[in-house]
């Protein structure tokens, strides 16, 4: 099965700074690499995803980079805002199932 590790488990940044969260996985068959944002008591919301034939994808302040050889992918948030505060999960997998990381609590300090 897939083993997923996510680092760091907590991250505090000043508003306007950048945040980077890294996810490593073990299953070379994984071909889909999403990041979800979950606010307290809410559903996970897909914020960005990337597939194995692409190395980088950007959507405004959010970007994801993938290194399939090293089996890791990272979430980059630039110009952070207080509303970015939440728990972020990586969830590598395929159309059959996703394996979620343990989460990163991001706190953006005003």
Partner 1 sequence: NAGVMQNPRHLVRRRGQEARLRCSPMKGHSHVYWYRQLPEEGLKFMVYLQKENIIDESGMPKERFSAEFPKEGPSILRIQQVVRGDSAAYFCASSPFEGTDTQYFGPGTRLTVL
- Residues lying near partner 1 in the complex (CB under 8 A) are found at 31-32, 34, 36, 42-46, 49, 51, 89, 91, 93-103
**Minimum CB separation from partner 1 for residue 100, in Å?**
4
Residue 96 has a CB neighbour count (10 Å cut-off) of: 6
CB of residue 22 to partner 1, shortest distance in Å: 15
Q: Which of 76, 68, 63 is nearest to 51 (CA)?
A: 68
CB of 82 vs partner 1, minimal distance in Å: 22
Distance of closest approach, residue 49 Cβ to partner 1, in angstroms? 7
Between 98 and 108, name the residue whose CB sits nearer to partner 1. Answer: 98
Name the token pair of 1. 């099965």
Q: Return the structure tokens found at 75.
A: 């979430």
Q: Which is nearer to partner 1, 36 or 73 (CB)?
A: 36
Distance (Å, rounded) from C-alpha 21 to C-alpha 76? 7
Using the minimum distance from each CB to partner 1, give the nearer residue, 34 or 65.
Answer: 34
Nearer to partner 1, 14 or 96 (CB): 96
Given strand 45-51, what is the order of strands in its sheet? 10-14, 104-109, 86-90, 32-38, 45-51
């Amino acid at each position: 099965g897939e083993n997923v590790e996510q680092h760091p488990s907590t991250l505090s940044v000043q508003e306007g700074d950048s945040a980077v969260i890294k996810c490593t996985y073990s299953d070379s068959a994984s071909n889909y690499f999403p990041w979800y944002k979950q606010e307290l008591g809410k559903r996970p919301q897909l914020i960005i995803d990337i597939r194995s034939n692409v190395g980088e994808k950007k959507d405004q302040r959010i970007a994801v980079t993938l290194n399939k050889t090293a089996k890791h992918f990272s979430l980059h948030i630039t110009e952070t805002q207080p509303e970015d505060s939440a728990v972020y999960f990586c969830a590598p997998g395929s159309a059959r199932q996703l394996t979620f990381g343990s989460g990163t609590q991001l706190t953006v300090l005003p």
